C-alpha cells in the first residue's frame, strides 16, 4: 500500500482585485503558509510524498521575494515533493522552474516533473507526468503521457499515479479547449490496472470525475472565489494495487484552508432587516479571513438606508473584503420629507438639500439607464465625486448627505 498527498493550484503570488493592500498581504501569506500546513498533514498521515498537480505559482513572472518565500515553505515539508508545471506556470522560455533563483535555492527533496512520461519516485512507485510546456499546448497532454506507457497492466508490485492538469471532457463536452483531457481512456486504464490513481489539478473545487474516487481534482488549498465547491482541502490517497479494482483506492480530505468566501443574498425592506443583516455579518467566524459577496435588494427609507451604510462600513473594516457588485444590487432608497425635516438643516445646507432633491426627482431623459426608475427613489450606489450632475448622482448625493448630517460630520 502506498500513501501520498494530492494537492494542486497553490497559485503562489495570486492577487485579488477586491482586496485592499493590507488584506492582500494576508491573503498572499496564507497561500504560502498553506504549504507548511500541507507538510504537517503529510507527516501526520505518514505520506511517502506530495504531488502538486500544476499551477504551483500564479505565473512565471513573480518577484524574487515571492519565489523565495515559497521555497522556504517547501523546505519545511518533511517528505519529497513533486511539482507539475501547469497552465499558469508552464515550462516556457520564462519558466520560474528554470530561473537561476529557483535552480540555486530549490530544496533537494523538491522535484519538478518537467518531462512527460514515467518518473520512478521510489522502488515500485511511478508517477506518469503530463507537464505543460506552454500556456496553449493545443492537445491532450495526459493522453500523450499515457501513450508512453507499455500496454497492459502495471507490473506486479508497481503503483502508478497519473499527475495531470487541465479541464476534462466531463465538464467540457464540446472540447472548446484542445488541451481538454479525455476521461474515457483514463477510466479504461484504471479498470485494467495500467494505472491506479489519476491526480488532477486546474479545477479549484474538490471533484470526483465520472463518479470515481480514483480520478479526482484535489481543489485549491486556499479558496480564490465564491463559486468554488469544497476548496481548502488536500487529499490523502491510499493505493493498494493488489486489491480488487473497486477497492484499490481510498481518499480522505483534510482541511488546510484558512480563508473563506461566502455569498449573502438578502432582502432588506425595514430596520429589522438591516439589524438581521448586521447580526449575520457579526456572527461570521474569522472575519479578517472572510470575503463576503453581498447581494441586496429591496426598498429602504432614508433613515434605514443610513443605518445600512453604517453596517456596511463597520463590517467592511472587520472583514477580509465586503464586495458588492453592481449587477447584483437592486436596492433603492425612498426620499422622505419627514426624515429631512427632523434634521432641521440650516444655513446653506437647507437650500442645498432642496435643490438636490429637486434634481433627484427630475425625470431622466428617455433611453437613459435611470429613465425607468421612480422619481422619488434614491440609488443605493456610493456617491462618486466628479460624476456629472444628473438625477442619479443627485439621489446618491442625498443618501450621502443624510448620513453625514446624522453623524454630525
- pLDDT, tens digit (0-9, with 9 covering 90-100), for 261-319: 999 999 999 999 999 999 999 999 999 999 999 999 888 877 788 889 899 999 999 99
DSSP 223-260: --STT-SS-SEEEEEEE-TTS-GGGSEEEEEEE----E
Sequence-ordered list of residues with C-beta below 8 angstroms from that of 128, at least 6 positions apart, any chain = 117, 118, 119, 145, 146, 148, 149, 160, 161, 162, 163, 195
Question: How far is C-alpha 278 from the chain's CA centre?
Answer: 25
Least confident of 42-51, 319-328, 342-351: 342-351
Domain with residue 85: its CATH number is: 3.60.21.10
Domain identity same for 247 and 279: no
Domain identity same for 250 and 292: no
User: For residue 353, what pLDDT band results from cuts at 50, 70 and 90?
Assistant: confident
Cell of 345: 438643516
Q: Are 207 and 216 within 8 A, CB to CB?
A: yes
Cell of 269: 425592506
> What does the pLDDT read at residue 261?
95
pLDDT tens for each residue of 145-169 = 999 999 999 999 999 999 999 999 9
Domain identity same for 238 and 98: yes
User: For residue 10, what pLDDT band results from cuts at 50, 70 and 90?
Assistant: very high
> What does the pLDDT read at residue 302?
74
Domain containing 352: what range? Answer: 260-407
pLDDT tens for each residue of 212-233 = 999 999 999 999 999 999 899 9
pLDDT tens for each residue of 167-209 = 999 987 776 778 899 999 999 999 999 999 999 999 999 999 9
> What does the pLDDT read at residue 222?
97
> Would you say how long the chain is, in residues?
409
Domain identity same for 280 and 296: yes
Cell of 300: 429602504
Among 223, 238, 255, which residue terminates a domain? 255
Among 255, 289, 317, which residue terminates a domain? 255
Which of 299, 302, 314 is CA-nearest to residue 267?
299
Domain identity same for 220 and 118: yes
Domain identity same for 90 and 145: yes
Domain identity same for 251 and 340: no
Domain identity same for 163 and 280: no
Domain count, the chain: 2
Is residue 74 classed exposed, middle or buried when 0-12, 13-18 and 19+ CB atoms within 10 A define those classes? buried
Rounded mean pLDDT, 332-338: 62
What is the distance between the alpha carbons of residues 276 and 298, in angstroms, rounded to a whole number?
A: 14
Least confident of 5-19, 31-45, 174-188: 174-188
> What does the pLDDT read at residue 386?
63
Mean pLDDT of the chain: 88
Rounded mean pLDDT, 41-54: 98
Looking from the CA of 294 toward its CB, the CA atoms found within 13 Å total 25
Domain identity same for 202 and 271: no
Sequence-ordered list of residues with C-beta below 8 angstroms from that of 22, at least 6 positions apart, any chain = none
- On the question of pLDDT at 364 being above 70, the answer is no
Domain identity same for 235 and 380: no
**CA torsion sign, 326 to 331 to 337 to 342?**
negative
Q: Tell me the β-bridge partners of 163.
A: 129, 199
Least confident of 133-142, 280-289, 309-318, 367-376: 367-376
Domain identity same for 205 and 266: no
> What does the pLDDT read at residue 373?
39
What is the distance between the alpha carbons of residues 113 and 98, in angstroms, rounded to a whole number?
A: 12
> What does the pLDDT read at residue 242?
86
Neighbours of 34 (CB within 10 A): 23
Cell of 40: 504537517
SS3 341: helix
Domain identity same for 273 and 224: no
What is the distance between the alpha carbons of residues 201 and 206, in angstroms, rounded to a whole number?
A: 9
Q: Is the whole model's pTM more than 0.85, yes or no? A: no
Sequence-ordered list of residues with C-beta below 8 angstroms from that of 21, at least 6 positions apart, any chain = none
Among 228, 255, 282, which residue terminates a domain? 255
> What does the pLDDT read at residue 372?
40
What is the distance between the alpha carbons of residues 303 and 286, in angstroms, rounded to a whole number?
A: 30
E-strand stretches of 211-353: 212-217, 233-239, 249-255, 260-267, 290-301, 321-323, 330-334
What is the distance between the alpha carbons of residues 333 and 45, in angstroms, rounded to a whole number?
A: 55
Amino acid at each position: 500500500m502506498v500513501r501520498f498527498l494530492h494537492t494542486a493550484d497553490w497559485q503562489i503570488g495570486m492577487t485579488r482585485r477586491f482586496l485592499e493592500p493590507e488584506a492582500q498581504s494576508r491573503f498572499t501569506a496564507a497561500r504560502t503558509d498553506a504549504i507548511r500546513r500541507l507538510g504537517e498533514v503529510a507527516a501526520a498521515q505518514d505520506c511517502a510524498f506530495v504531488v502538486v498537480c500544476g499551477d504551483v505559482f500564479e505565473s512565471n513572472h513573480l518577484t524574487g521575494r515571492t519565489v523565495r518565500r515559497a521555497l522556504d515553505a517547501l523546505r519545511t515539508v518533511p517528505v519529497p515533493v513533486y511539482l507539475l508545471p501547469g497552465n499558469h506556470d508552464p515550462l516556457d522560455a520564462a519558466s520560474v522552474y528554470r530561473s537561476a533563483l529557483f535552480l540555486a535555492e530549490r530544496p533537494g527533496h523538491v522535484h519538478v516533473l518537467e518531462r512527460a512520461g514515467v518518473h520512478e519516485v521510489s522502488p515500485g512507485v511511478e508517477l506518469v507526468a503530463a507537464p505543460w510546456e506552454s500556456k496553449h499546448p493545443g492537445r491532450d497532454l495526459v493522453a500523450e503521457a499515457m501513450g508512453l506507457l507499455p500496454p497492459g497492466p502495471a507490473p506486479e508490485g508497481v503503483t502508478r499515479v497519473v499527475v495531470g492538469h487541465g479541464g476534462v471532457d466531463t465538464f467540457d463536452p464540446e472540447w472548446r479547449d484542445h488541451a481538454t483531457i479525455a476521461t474515457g481512456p483514463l477510466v479504461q486504464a484504471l479498470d485494467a490496472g495500467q494505472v491506479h490513481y489519476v491526480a488532477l489539478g486546474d479545477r479549484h473545487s474538490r471533484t470526483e470525475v465520472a463518479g470515481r474516487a480514483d480520478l479526482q481534482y484535489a481543489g485549491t488549498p486556499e479558496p480564490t472565489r465564491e463559486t468554488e465547491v469544497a476548496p481548502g482541502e488536500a487529499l490523502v490517497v491510499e493505493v493498494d494495487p493488489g486489491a480488487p479494482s473497486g477497492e484499490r483506492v481510498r481518499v480522505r480530505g483534510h482541511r488546510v484552508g484558512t480563508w473563506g468566501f461566502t455569498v449573502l443574498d438578502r432582502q432588506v425592506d425595514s430596520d429589522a432587516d438591516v439589524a438581521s443583516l448586521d447580526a449575520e455579518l457579526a456572527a461570521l467566524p474569522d472575519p479578517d479571513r472572510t470575503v463576503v459577496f453581498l447581494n441586496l435588494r429591496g426598498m429602504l427609507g432614508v433613515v434605514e438606508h443610513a443605518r445600512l451604510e453604517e453596517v456596511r462600513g463597520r463590517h467592511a473594516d472587520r472583514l477580509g473584503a465586503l464586495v458588492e457588485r453592481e449587477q447584483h444590487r437592486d436596492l433603492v432608497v425612498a426620499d422622505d420629507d419627514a426624515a429631512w425635516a427632523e434634521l432641521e438643516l440650516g444655513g446653506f445646507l437647507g437650500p442645498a438639500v432642496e435643490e438636490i432633491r429637486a434634481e433627484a426627482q427630475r425625470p431622466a431623459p428617455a433611453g437613459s439607464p435611470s429613465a425607468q426608475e421612480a422619481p422619488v427613489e434614491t440609488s443605493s450606489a456610493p456617491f462618486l465625486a466628479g460624476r456629472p450632475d444628473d438625477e442619479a448622482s443627485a439621489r446618491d448625493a442625498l443618501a450621502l448627505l443624510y448620513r453625514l448630517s446624522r453623524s454630525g460630520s
